[in-house]
Every structure is written in C-alpha cells, then in structure tokens.
Structure 1
Amino acid sequence: MRRVVITGMGALTPIGNTVEEFWKNALEGVSGAAPIQTFDAAKFKTQFACELKDFKIEDHLDRKERKKYDKFTQYALVAVEEAVQQANIDFDNLDLDRVGVIWGSGNGGIQTFEQQLTEYNEGDGTPRFNPYFIPRILVDIAAGVISMKYGLRGVNFAPVSACATSTTAIIEAFNYVRWNKADMIVSGGSESPIGPATIGGFGSLKALSTKNDAPETASRPFDVNRDGFVMGEGAGALVVEELEHAKKRGANIIAEIVGGGMAADAYHLTGTHPEGEGAIKGMKLAIEEAGISPDQVDYVNMHATSTPNGDVSEIKALDTVFEKRKSLIVSGTKSMTGHLLGAAGAVETILSAKALEKQKVPPTINVKDFEESCKDSYYFPVEKGVDGRIKYALSNTFGFGGHIAALLLKRYEEE
C-alpha cells in the first residue's frame, strides 16, 4: 500500500486567516468568540459566535467570483490557494488526470438559501431568484469550483457527514491516494453557517451556549459549567499526496497520514452514544490501520464541542481505548475556534499536523473546574500551548446522525 503525506495546508479561521496566524493564536490560547456581526441577533437566545476577523473577501476574489459563489465556496478557494502555494505545486508539470478534489461542507450554501427565500417571501410573489441560486447552494459545488480553477481532472466529489464531514473527506483522500487511484488530492472543508436560520435552529435544539455576557469564555470543553457549543465559520485545506510523488517534485512534507477510522453511533439523531461506542470503534479502526498500539498515540485533538453529554461520552471512549493514560496529551481546540461544523475536522487536522511538525500542543482554554470524569485521567494543557514529544496524533470528529471519523497522523522523518 502506498504511503500518503500532507504537503500543503491552508486555513481561514476565527483566530487566524492563514495557517501560521492560526497556529500562533492557538498556542497562545486566543478566543475567537464575540458578539455576532453578520446579522442582528438581539432577539436570539445566543447572540455571539466565532466569526472571521479582519477578513476581506475582495482581497482574494474578484466581483464576478463573489457574485457566483456562496461564502462557503469563497472560503474554500481562499484556503486552497494558501495550501497550493505552501505545497509549491506547478500544475503544468503534473498529470492532472491523477489530481483530484474531495471537499466537504455540512450545510453548503445555507446563507444563500435563506437570503433568496426571505427576499421572495418579502416581495410581491414574483419569483426573482438569482440565476446562480442553485449552484450556490449545492454542497458539492466547492469541490467542483476548486477543480475548475486548477484544471484538476481526477476524482471529484463532496462527502457529507455533518460535523465529521471534512475529516471524512481527508480519509477519503487518503484512501484514494494509497489505493493508487490518484497521486494528489486537494481535500478539506468549508462552512459559512452564521445566520438567523442556523443560530435559531441550533438554538432551538439547545445545542448552543447562551453565555451572552461573556462570549469569549463560553466554549469550555470539559468544564462543569459548559452549556453548549459556539458556532464558527471558515475553511481548512490540505494537499494530500503520495510520498514518492511528493519527493520527486521536492515538496516539503509536513506529516504522514497513517490511519482513518469511520463508524456510526447508531444511537440518536443529534446526540452521541453515552458510552462513546461509535467513537471507540472509529479510534480503534484508525489505530489498527496504522499498525500501532493505542499506547503509541501521543496526542488526541478531541471533538470536544462543550456540550454537557458529548464531552463526557468522548472521555468515556478515550478511557476504553487509552485506559486513562496520564501521559496522553489531549486538547479541545474548539474552545478557541468555536465549532466550524463541516469544516471542523480540517482545521483540527491542521493543528494536529502542526503539533507533529513543531512538537508543540495547543491548549484547551476556559476550563475553570474540570468535569470529574476527566480529572486526573489525561494531560490537559490549559490556556497556553506546551512542548511535547509527539510521534502520533489522532483527531476526532463526530456529526449529527451518529457519524464518526477519526484520523491518525504520524510525524514525518526522512529515511
């Protein structure tokens, strides 16, 4: 089976608009949460989110592109451009039939959908829909647009597994490359969900935090006073490539992908299994595929959304797989970024890859009083990043519908 590596990354997040800015702020424990600016949320139970900061799309895309694409596709193009530049790709010298795109989103163009229907309902009943309405809302359209921009004629599709979507996409990219169905795949996910429909909808599920008086501390995984997640937006992009293909073109190798596990809780529409059964299966599959034992995993970037039941069930899953190994470093970086829904796995994979590359681990912030079930079980860096000797890093993502995706990375060392 062929070896698969990451040679480029791009990030657009609530705590950084490039990979380096994102990584620096994550190590510093910066919170991306603040009162919502996208729309007037005064009447909503939740009035804050993790929005992008100091970001102007006109600095990246021309007016024609902005008109054609929903924000989730715009974000995808920005993140991919950074990843392609970092990977130093000369597409003219590649077999573009062997280069593909596997890119996901949990909600697709939900803002476009909401806007167009609102305008129709508030009008005189005459249908004046934007001619780009349908392509703007399609979940697969970002993958298609990426392929068209760079002329990539290989595999092209968009998996959807709710908040596990972009991890699923990366696992699919890993599989296609190691199965020799592609030499390189641009993969990841993007999301632009912050609007009345999503804030109202997730709020009605009681999934969102309502700490409107202190939004910067609202996302607090593992804390006894957590009350829900904080919604985020952005994109994460990775160039996934076959090792010898990367070496031949002199690429810088950031990390190696060695295992991917996908499973299902098969339990509840929106909640995780209370004993973490799906998460256990997903993590074990990823570890087994890598041909290592659980005690060789050094770091876990947890799904850890800051929901009361979700955090506990994931800790129980870790207890089963890792047996409360105190040397295992774990963190919940959604405490800083918020929950980027379908893009969460991609940005957390970027943090995991950087942790391997730089031998540093980002923290969990806002934890004042640890949940009893996770106290003294693992090594939880808080507030600031820490140095760590890391060879293997695991990233967990879970989605509504019981979707489970776990991705295992290895520190790359030249042979």
Structure 2
Amino acid sequence: MMTSLMTSLEPLSMFGLNSTRVHTNTKPHGKTMAIAVQPAKEPTTKKKPVTTYRRVVVTGLGVVSPVGHVADVFYENLLNGVSGISEIESFDCDQFPTVSEIKSFSADGWVAPKLSRRVDKFILYLITAGKKALEDGGVTEDVMKQLDIARCGVLIGSAMGGVKVLQDGIEALRVSYKKMNPFSVPFATTNMGSAILAMDLGWMGPNYSISTACATSNNCIINAANHIIRGETDMMLSGGSDAAITPIALGGFIACNGLSERNSDPTKASRPWDMSRDGFVMGEGAGVLLLEELEHAKARGAKIYAEYLGGSFTSDAYHVTDPHPDGTGISLCIEKALSQSGVAREDVNYINAHATSTPARDVNEYEAIIRCFNENSELKMNSTKSMTGHLLGGAGAIEAIAVVKAIQTGWLHPNLNLENPDVGVDTNVLVGGTKERCDIKVALSNSAGYGGHNSCILFAPYNSDGYHHA
C-alpha cells in the first residue's frame, strides 16, 4: 500500500516542494471576460457518528527488569521477596552508590545484531519488552498478517533516553566531532525506541513517546488507551524504558541528594515507608503492556489479563524535585481518575504506590492516599521499588504489570525492608514482609516525577458485563 502511494506522487525536492511548479498568479491574455458569480454552496452537513463505548483490556505483558525478564518469573520473584539491588558491575563504582542493575540480558532473537550493537540499552530493553508483550499476547506472524497496521500503534516513553550514547558522544567529542557516532543524536532521543519498534513491526498508527520523568509510563499508558477508546486504534503497545545507570546520570542524582547511601548492604537500601530510608535506588529496565479494544481481542481469541478502567494526571506546580508538602496534586490526580472512570472509591482495595524510599515523598504520597480512601478498611498498599529499585521512566510500566499479575494471581507482593514503619503509617494498610492474598476489585497504580508530575491508572478483573460498583 505504501509503495503504490509513494510511486503515484510527483518527485519532491529536498525542501519538500513539488519539482513542477504550478503558477497560480498568471493573468489571462487578450480581452477581459466577465465572470458569473455563483452563490456559495452550503457545506454538506454530516451527522456525527454515534459514539460507542470502547473497552480497553490488557492482552500481553513484556518485561525486562532486575528481577526477571519474563512476566511470570518477574512476578514470582516479587512474591518471594527477591531483590534485584546490588553493587554496580558495569563500570568502576568506587564513587557511586548501590543500584538495581540488570546483570544478565541478551537481545538475541529480539533485536537484529547490527542494530543491537549500535543502540542505547534503553532502546534494546524497550524493543525486547515490546516484542515479548506481543508474544505473550499471542500475536504470532499469522496474526500480524491479519492486523490493520494503520490501527496499531506504539507509545512507549523514556525519562532519560540514551544516556550512555550521549555520554560516549561527549567523550568522542573531546578528541574530535569526526570521532562521534553518527547515531549519537537519534539514539539519544527519548522517542527513538518507540519509533524503531514501530518500524520493525510495520505499525503505522500513533507512534510517539512521552517524557514526564518518573510518571512517563503511566502517561503513555493513559494516552495509548485513549487512542483505543476514541476509536483511532485497536491495539497499542505502551509503557516505558530507561537505562541510566551511567556515571553522568548517577552523578547528577547524587548531586541533588536523591539516592540512597546505604551501600554496605545493597538489598536493604530501598525501604519505602521505613524510618531509616535515605533515598531511592536507581534501577533500569522496561515494561510494555499490549492494550487492545475488547471486541478486537475477543475476535482473535486473545487471553485477557485485566481491564483498563481509566487514569489521570495532574501537576503539583510547586517545585523542580520536591512534591507539594500537602500532597494536593496527588489527591487531585486520584480524585480525577475515579471520577472520570466512574469507579467508586470503596471498590479500590489495592494500590501499588509510587513510594520511592525517599524521606519526604513516601509519607507525602501515603497521606494523600489515605485522605482519598480513609473510609476503605479493605485497602492494601505495597511498593514494587522495595525490590526493583526505581526504574525512572520504566517504573510505572513494570508496576502496572505487577498490578495486572496481582489481579490474575490473587497475590500481593511484600514490602521489603519495612522494619520500622514511619510515624503515622498504618501497618494494617501496608502489605507486610511476605506475600498476602487479595481478591482485587479495583487496583490503582501511582507514579510521580520531578517537575511535579502526578499520574495514576486503574485496572480491574475482566468481567464480560464490565465494571459495576460492588
């Protein structure tokens, strides 16, 4: 289709102009002729099509993380309290803190070898997780041939983009610009992972990325779902990816006092809501969800993990790195998500919190959540970051996958290292040190980021009749 379209066009110049110019300002030769003025035709009135409610479901999960590269393995490790946090091995780490680094990863079979050697790791993680989501969703080669590629899109973001490629470019520039990788700019930009995956798949629907720091994944998921809800697409790959464990990124976060300094015991470093928390642990990886319009999923016999009910985002409009002390932006975000999706607050009985293990943000978020759900005695809350560390732009996506797996399995993963809960934190709300059973009605996943970005998304068990208030 693309070939026939392109060959039918006139050649274009390098500036995007048609090579054959059409002069529209030439005057007629000879005698001037009278021109009859015709009344303008009334524009044809088209009736607005009847809007039908399009439900969005999750049909595939793809993950690359410090605790597993397959969704089932990833979640089983979380349930068993397996920590992915350790000392840095990829470069000299004498001056740097503990991280949640991916120790064993191969893109073989997922990314072409030549591309694999050139691109930044955030792109490798993204493409691999995206293809794993398709494989998990049963999108085989035969299914791909049946898809309307104009109605399939990719919306996967990154907070930091190609930090390693950029750092390598800076080092090369010290010698000469001629030594720089010609792909330094393309592979450093946050959109390029999403773009390359779309090229690889041939999907011609919406393709872009969103970068809102650590709220990136949720914003991508919400916007991807909205493309389906509005009838623009039937299938979207969405999520986030980051690979910022590099000297330049770590140095920057150390400079703004963001990271934990508990280096003597790495697995104890990330401790959301605990009195002795001292900063977040940087992680890396990617999470991608295959979102699909319900009838489209049913028509191809896809398995359905959960239903996406809605989401929202707000701005604290307060500070570059610190959350608003009153948590007003978080509360507003949750309230908007509940209102817009029609979910009753008493039905939300599980929250995967942002909870980064930083002194101010953990309690700030906790208090905002309790204000929204103070009458809900069934509410349970945990933090995936206690085991994975903080994957920055990829965090929300792997946490969304954890939520979907919790819905599927009926188990909530533990909060690791919650030994001395902070003052005012109700331990009856927080999941303990071992996994807990939960019959989830509606689950909420929170993410927030530098710049005051707040976001939350809602999932529920799939029911053929749709969500109904209990």
Query: Which TM-score band applies after superposition, normalised by the shorter structure?
Result: over 0.9
**1: distance between equivalents of 2:129 and 2:319?**
33
Pick 1 or 2: higher relative contact order, CA cutoff 8 A, min separation 6.
Answer: 1
Partners of 1:352 and 1:393 within 8 A in 2: yes
Aligned residues: 410
CA contact (8 A) 2:355 2:385 kept: yes
In structure 2, the partner of 1:117 is: 170
Radius of gyration: which is bigger? 2
Hey, what's the Cα distance between the residues in 2 that align with 1:276 and 1:262? Answer: 14
- Which residue identity does 1:163 align to in structure 2? C
Asked whether the 8 Å contact 2:62–2:70 carries over to 1, the reply is yes
Structure 2 residue 61 is the aligned partner of structure 1 residue 9: yes
Contact kept, 8 Å, 1:318 with 1:324, in 2: the verdict is no
Which residue of 53, 74, 90 corresponds with 2:103? 53
Matched, 1:22 2:74: yes
Could you tell me which residue of structure 1 aligns to residue 153 of structure 2?
Answer: 100
Q: Secondary structure at the match of 2:159?
A: coil
Secondary structure in 1 aligned to 2:332? helix
Question: Is contact 1:102–1:188 with CA below 8 Å preserved after alignment?
Answer: yes
Query: Structure 2 matches for 1:122-271, cutoff 5 A?
Result: 123=175, 125=176, 127-271=178-322
Structure-2 separation of matches of 1:274 and 1:59: 47
Q: Distance in 1 between matches of 2:191 and 2:106?
A: 24
Structure 1 partner of 2:453: 403
Cα deviation 1:240-286 (Å, max 9, x = unaligned) = 11101110111101110001111011111001111111110111111
Q: 2-side partners of 1:373 and 1:290: how far apart?
A: 30
Moved over 4 A (4+): none
Q: Which of 383, 390, 397 does residue 346 from structure 1 map onto?
A: 397
CA-CA distance at 1:69 after TM superposition:
1.6
User: 1:69, 1:62 → 2: CA distance?
Assistant: 11
Partner Cα separation in structure 2 for residue 152 and residue 293 of structure 1: 37
Per the alignment, residue 438 of structure 2 pairs with 388
Structure 1 residue 290: deviation in Å? Answer: 2.0
Q: Does 1:43 align with 2:98?
A: no
Contact conserved, 2:119 with 2:165, CA < 8 A, in 1? no
Of 336, 346, 351, which aligns to 1:295? 346
Structure 1 stretches lacking a partner, 5+ long: none
Q: Give the Å deviation of 1:384.
A: 2.1
Distance in 2 of aligned mates of 1:64 and 1:342: 26
Aligned-pair distance for 1:182? 0.7
Contact 1:16/1:53 (<8 A) preserved: no
The one-letter amino acid paired with 2:165 is T
Q: Answer with 10-19 or 323-332: which moved more.
A: 323-332
Secondary structure at the residue paired with 1:267?
coil
Amino acid at match of 2:342: G
Name which of structure 1's ranges 316-325 and 57-66 shifts more when overlaid on structure 2: 57-66
Give ranges in structure 2 of 5+ residues lacking alignment: 1-52, 466-470
Per-residue CA deviations over 1:53-97 (Å, capped at 9, x if unaligned) read: 322334643430113321101001111111001111211101110
Per the alignment, residue 372 of structure 1 pairs with 423
Deviation, 1:115, is: 1.4
Which residue in 1 is equivalent to 2:463? Answer: 413
Q: Helix, strand or coil for the counterpart of 2:219? A: helix
Secondary structure at the aligned position of 1:238 is classed as strand
The percent of aligned pairs where both chains have the same amino acid is: 39
Amino acid at match of 1:101: V
Equivalence for 2:325: 274
AA matched with 2:72 = E
Secondary structure, aligned partner of 2:290: strand
